[in-house]
Structure 1
Amino acid sequence: MSTHVDDAASPNGTAFRAAVPYPVDPAGAGTVTGMAELVRTGALAAREVVDAALARIAELDPELGAFVHVDEDGARERAREIDAMVARGVDPGPLAGVPLGVKELHAVAGWPYAMGSALHADRIAGHTSTLVARAVAAGAIPVGLTASPEFGRASFTASALHGVTRNPWNPALTPGGSSGGSAAAVAAGMVPVATGTDGAGSLRIPASYCGLVGFKGTYGRVPRGPYHRGTAENDHYGVLTRTVRDTARFLDCVCGSDEYDRSSLPAPAEPFETALAGVDLRGLRVAWTPDLGNAPCDPEVAAVVQAAAEAFVAATGARRVPAEVDLEAACGAAFRTLSVPDVHAELRAAPPDRLHAVHATVRRYGDAAAALDADALVDAHETRARLVAALAAAFDRFDLLLTPATQVPAFPAEGPMPTEIAGRPVDHWGALAVTFPFNLSGHPAISVPAGTAGGAPVGLQIVGRRHEDVRVLAAAVAVEGLGLWPPPTPSR
């Protein structure tokens, strides 16, 4: 094993040593796949795994704020069930004994279901998300809920209900959002995997800032049932992990059509984990763009990620081709228009005298929803259609599109989101300009570690054609193999 450690000043003035369990050997117990195989064979008890996870949460979470609810009793009871199955010679499944963090936007029956909002501070979930239920059926052990900004509507993770979530590599900085609690939990080694959502980059941005893998599959790849609320059709479900193979293992356990989600796709004919080995990247046409034609990008981020993109092309035998992608500025307005009804769905039943408890950004969503008219909705859908057509034409010219996963280095943990990038003013959507277009279009996209910028990790985004998820994952495996991101180990 190798060790990569950064010391940073924590908010309380003490030294925080940011070290992440990430064994060089993928069979090690620090990965999802390695841990599950050890538990399945009886070489490692699930109760030991859970006890270690709970101990690390107790040690680190007071400083990081990754978890908003921990179910110690439930996790230990589930671990005992897994160990009993192994003792009887029954295979608990491909996620056997793996501690799982669950983003608080995902329901778990009997657990709090506040979604980061004081409006729902006392709400308890009456159902379990399909994503979580399938992971549990495959042997995973949910240990608690991870933090999200209110209703997932920011790219940093802070809320009046739960406070601020911090980046394990530098607690002064954000782990990103909205799946920032999940990213901080995985990056700090509290759990090896945690669920997330991606409506505008909320898996890829935290993955970028925390040195993780964050994959948004083709729209519908991971089912969103039951009872998913939303009309925008931008939301994608997924997980944050330390390796691409871990992500593939998890996908194989949770993907597949779900009668509760009309957009869900059938499971692929070949499991993702085994399909990765058969992908040949030689000769693929690969395009690089730092800005998708019109998005400002911090020069340091652009330089680090471009070097990773060039190393990927050289190492795989792919062919570099021009990107020639220039997405229209109207995409941001279209995304806003299509998204505001989703927030309205959460706010419309709230008593007027409670709306003061809602963050101003969320209230603005509600105000915008009240002002929507048919022309605005039609314009937004037509803009989306033009985006889909533009990307279809672009993917006739290349097979993979490479960009930065974030346009700026990690910013302060308390926020706000950037209002200026590379000297250019940006609005909310301008700070997400390299991620949200692929939510509108439904293309698969992944962030994989590319190096560091501004004192924290930064990721390379790889985008592929719709339904070519395996190729995107295989390209991310190739980036992992470049050694751009030292695999750190626990040393705190």
Structure 2
Amino acid sequence: MNAVELAEEVRAGRRAAREAVAEALGRIERSDGALGAFVHVDAEGALARAREIDATVARGEDPGPLAGVPLAVKELHAVAGWPYAMGSVLHAGRVADHTSTMVARAIAAGAVPVGLTASPEFGRASFTASVLHGVTRNPHAPELTPGGSSGGSAAAVASGMVPLGTGTDGAGSLRIPASYCGLVGFKGTYGRVPRGPRHRGTAENDHYGVLTRTVRDTARFLDCVCGTDEYDRASLPAPTAPFETSLDGVDLRGLRVAWSPDLGYAPCDPEVAAVVEDAARAFIAGTGARRVPADLTLESCGAAFRTLSVPDVHAELRDAPADRLDSVHPTVRRYGDAARTLDADALVDAHEARARLVAALAEGFARFDLLLTPATQAPAFPAEGPMPAEIAGRPVDHWGALAVTFPFNLSGHPAISVPAGRAGGTPTGLQMVARRHEDLVALAAAAAYERLRPWPT
């Protein structure tokens, strides 16, 4: 069952939360050995929480909109009493003494956390593998990656182990796994989902969210967790009307929709481009939207993104003994090396590049209301990595596979990936980007596309 379906069954007393959780735990036990999605499972705690929910229903009370829904938690999100290694050997054995605001709100809404899912070290890769936990695999093709950095949650949801899995998105880490696993991955406007109480980060590109099998599941989860949080100065107020009940009320007829396979600078695999453009055309024709030219050429902001991200990684590394830094992933180590030479000019240049990006997108959204792109520029690559060094016959750097996702982390726009079809053996996603604070437009567009082209889960 999807999350909404299951929650309504539990709330009505037609399904026991304990039964639903026990089934999820059974699926994890049977399936996860081949996928490596989970790094910690708390069966005892999950069953105890499920019994509490069943008792609440028996008293005639409502346990909440996520009643009895098994929830996978990405290991970058803290859960008090659970391991909190963040995929790093530097923190092996650490236990969280607090719970992330997002996770706490989901639990308060009735969700049942069953365990932690794998992330690359500190979430700094688009495939999910680490020295600490090994390799996580794509349920559609186990030799390939489910993406990253929320690959563990994506594998758990796509394989049917759980209906919901939390994730982070600093450069595409919700949308990329959603694309490769045939899921819905939504990154809201910056601040839409609070990141308290102890989020460490100065780059202002990190977003929290969830991976699901349906847009409605995503909307319900957002309604349960968004809203201001005194621990997160960037957190936004909850919308005046719930996302879930508003999904079908948005009139998309006449909406100005632009399509760009590359944002004017990013090479895209021809098979991916063809599959996703077909999905974009189907969306425009099926909703009565109006296609307009994108006329959008963005500059590559990979260097700016890296510069702005260096202090965040340095915060995790600076207290580590020097003799232990050799054990971290080379990508993470390179961030640490860059921190030692970072200067004010580089930071100013990065902020100016971000300002130019925001201005270019502001000009674009004066011409269109919704921007459609591929969610990933290349098909899924080997589960062990590395990330692609070439796309469409052109050499690319570390940012080539993220070229159409991370710009919207820098700018803070809401963006969602929905399944478009298959390319290279796994699913591939259609990304929909709306104006900042118009999260409902992106969600409603995704829901309309989902109705036009239901995806077999």
The offset of 1:277, in angstroms, is: 1.5
Q: Which whole-Å deviations, capped at 9, do the CAs of 1:315-369 have from their partners, x for residues lacking one?
A: 000110000111112x111101001111000000000111111111110010111
Task: Tell me if structure 2 keeps the 8 A contact 1:308–1:484.
Answer: no
Residues 132-156 of structure 1: CA distance to partner in whole angstroms, max 9, x if unpaired?
0000000000000000000000000
Partner in structure 1 of residue 364 of structure 2:
394
Counterpart of 2:338?
A: 368
**Alpha-carbon distance between aligned partners in 1 of 2:302 and 2:130, rounded to the nearest angstrom:** 24
Deviation at 1:291, TM superposition (A): 0.1
Q: Which residue of structure 2 aligns with residue 78 of structure 1?
A: 49
The match for 1:237 is: 208
Q: Distance in 1 between matches of 2:400 and 2:144?
A: 20
Match of 1:417 in 2: 387
Partner of 2:188: 217
Secondary structure of the equivalent of 1:343? helix
Q: 1:381 aligns with which of 343, 346, 351?
A: 351
Q: Does 1:172 align with 2:143?
A: yes
* 1:244-272 CA distance string (max 9 Å, x none): 00000000000000000000000000000
What does residue 121 of structure 1 align with? 92
Aligned residues: 457
The Cα shift of 1:118 comes to 0.4
Quote the residue 1:197 is aligned against: 168
Q: How far off is 1:483 after superposition? A: 2.1
Instruction: For 1:176 and 1:285, locate their aligned partners in 2 and report how far apart those are by CA, in whole Å.
Output: 31
Distance across 1 between alignment mates of 2:161 and 2:335: 34
Identity of aligned residues (%): 81
Letter of the 1:446 partner, please give it.
I
Task: Quote the residue 2:251 is aligned against.
Answer: 280
Deviation at 1:456, TM superposition (A): 0.3
**Contact preservation (8 Å) 1:221, 1:265:** yes
How far, CA to CA, are the matches of 1:177 and 1:286 in structure 2?
28
Q: For residues 21-420 of structure 1, what are the structure 2 equivalents within 5 Å?
A: 30-329=1-300, 331-420=301-390
The amino acid of 1:156's aligned partner reads F
Correspondence 1:435 to 2:396: no
1:282 partner amino acid: R
Gaps of 5+ in 2: none
Report Cα offsets for 1:171-218 as digits up to 9, x if no partner: 001000000000000000010001000000000000000000000000
Q: Is residue 482 from structure 1 mapped to residue 452 from structure 2 by the alignment?
A: yes
CA distance in 1, matches of 2:290, 2:319: 54
CA distance in 2: counterparts of 1:357 and 1:131, whole angstroms = 31
Structure 1 position 478, deviation (Å): 1.3
Structure 1 CA distance for aligned equivalents of residues 319 and 438 of structure 2: 40
In structure 2, how many angstroms separate the alpha carbons of the residues matched to 1:396 and 1:303? 27
Q: Once the two structures are superposed, what CA deviation does each residue of 1:70-128 show, in whole Å capped at 9, x if it has no partner?
A: 00000000000000000001100000000000000000000000000000001000100
- 1:100–1:192 contact (8 Å) kept in structure 2: yes
Is the CA contact (8 Å cut-off) linking 1:450 and 1:484 kept in structure 2? Answer: no
- What TM-score, normalized to structure 2? 0.99
> SS at the partner of 2:385?
coil
Matched, 1:452 2:422: yes
Measure how far apart 1:430 and its partner are.
2.0
- Return the offset for 1:484: 5.7
The 8 Å contact of residues 451 and 484 in structure 1, kept in 2 or not, is answered as no
In 1: Cα distance, 2:281 partner to 2:51 partner: 48
> Considering only aligned residues, what root-mean-square deviation do their CA atoms show, in Å?
0.6
Query: Which digits, 9 at most, give the CA deviation of each residue in 1:428-448, with x for residues without a partner?
Result: 112211000000000000000
State the secondary structure of the residue aligned to 1:481: helix
The amino acid across from 2:447 in the alignment is V
* CA–CA separation in structure 1 for the residues paired with 2:430 and 2:248: 21
Match of 2:439 in 1: 469
Alignment check: 8 A CA contact 1:101 1:144 kept = yes
Unaligned runs of at least 5 residues, structure 1: 1-29
Distance 2:454 2:196 in 1: 37
